[in-house]
Amino acid sequence: MHAALHLLLALALAPLVPGIVNRVKARVGGRAGKPLLQTYFDLAKLVRKGVVISETASWVVWAGPIVSLAAVACGLLLLPGPGTPAPVAFGGDFLLLAYLLGLSRLALVLAALDTGSSFEGMGASREAVFSALAEPVLFLCFLSLCAGSGGLSLSTMLALPSPGPVTAERLFVPVILFVLLLVENCRIPVDDPNTHLELTMIHEVMVLDHSGPDLAAVVYGAALKLWIFCALTALTLTPASGLSPLAAWGVFGGLMLVVAVAVGLVESAMARLRLLRVPRLLGWAGALVALSLVLSVWR
């Protein structure tokens, strides 16, 4: 029941996370900003609109957003709740989650390339490069969690038995997962989701040719993906097994809010990195999580 509740909450509340991020950025910048529910309004508007597809594009353009959204939604089935196993859990399920996220990204990249637009091809190539660099770091995070928990399932890896002592390797993983959240979801300092300069865009330029329900699928899929990374970061800090179910959900909800606010603060305080510096950022993240893995095995 708790696992199903987590799934329903993720499907319903995922569009709220970008709203929180945008509200934080607006408050820090001294602006009124968009309403908290703006993503819901955007989705409702896009679903009612028609679809315009380029004459040079094939079926890949409209299939890309559908496959991408379906892959991310399937990934939610592998995500445990605080103190409760995921609806689908088995040894090595973190590999399936990583590749479902990869399949989601691949579908959008192929759709962008199929349009024949040079701008969308440029964004697709950038996203493919950064995701290829981020994927080993994500696997190292999962391996570090495996070494610390002794389990190969996300439901075991993310179920902390108690608050326990604060060790370096325990703090590295949520920090690196937060960095991956920024990279994988194309947030500042890696990408600017609000930019309109095609030459500096990454994710947003990939979806310029999508409209109507297709664009709604892209926006909703991006919100679900952001929820997954926020939840992974929050679950690595939630001592769910040492708390009552209600308290665990309260701590998890508070940490999800903290992660969303942290994304907004980072985007308010930092500028975009030069594209050549993003691999360096991922290199440092990989080195830290590799150190966390070594320390986890050593202890």
Amino acid symbol at 152: L
pLDDT of residue 149: 81
What are the backbone dihedrals phi and psi of residue 81, each rounded to the nearest 5 degrees, phi first?
-95, 180
- Indicate if the pLDDT at residue 165 is higher than 70: no
DSSP-derived 3-state class of residue 68 = helix
- Per residue in 189-248, pLDDT (tens digit) is 888 877 666 666 777 888 888 999 999 999 999 999 999 999 999 998 887 666 788 888
The dihedral over CA atoms of 83, 263, 97, 249, expressed in degrees to the nearest 10, equals 10
Per the model's pLDDT, the better-predicted residue between 206 and 171 turns out to be 206
- Per residue in 121-155, pLDDT (tens digit) is 888 998 899 999 999 999 999 998 888 787 889 98
pLDDT of residue 1: 55
Distances (CA, A) of 261 to 19, 86, 258: 10, 26, 5
DSSP label at residue 185: T
Closest CA to 230 of 183, 191, 270, 177: 177
Closest CA to 190 of 178, 202, 199, 198: 202
pLDDT of residue 198: 60
pLDDT of residue 104: 96
Band the pLDDT of 186: cuts 50, 70, 90: confident
DSSP-derived 3-state class of residue 274 = coil
CA atoms within 13 A on the CB side of 119: 13
Residue owning tokens 């996370």: 17
pLDDT of residue 13: 95
- Per residue in 74-105, pLDDT (tens digit) is 999 999 988 788 989 999 999 999 999 999 99
- The total of other beta-carbon atoms located within 10 Å of residue 244's CB is 10
Band the pLDDT of 114: cuts 50, 70, 90: very high
pLDDT of residue 160: 64
pLDDT of residue 200: 62
pLDDT of residue 99: 95
- Indicate if the pLDDT at residue 3 is higher than 80: no
For the chain, give the mean pLDDT: 88
pLDDT of residue 183: 92
DSSP-derived 3-state class of residue 84 = strand
Alpha-helical segments (H) within the chain:
2-13, 16-28, 38-48, 59-76, 93-114, 118-149, 154-157, 168-184, 203-206, 212-235, 245-269, 278-298
DSSP-derived 3-state class of residue 54 = coil
Averaged pLDDT, 282-290: 92
Distances (CA, A) of 181 to 188, 227, 234, 282: 10, 9, 12, 12
Residues facing 84 on adjacent strands: 81
- Indicate if the pLDDT at residue 166 is higher than 60: no
Phi-psi region of 80 (alpha: psi -120 to 50; beta: other; left: phi over 0): beta
pLDDT of residue 292: 87
pLDDT of residue 218: 95
pLDDT of residue 120: 86
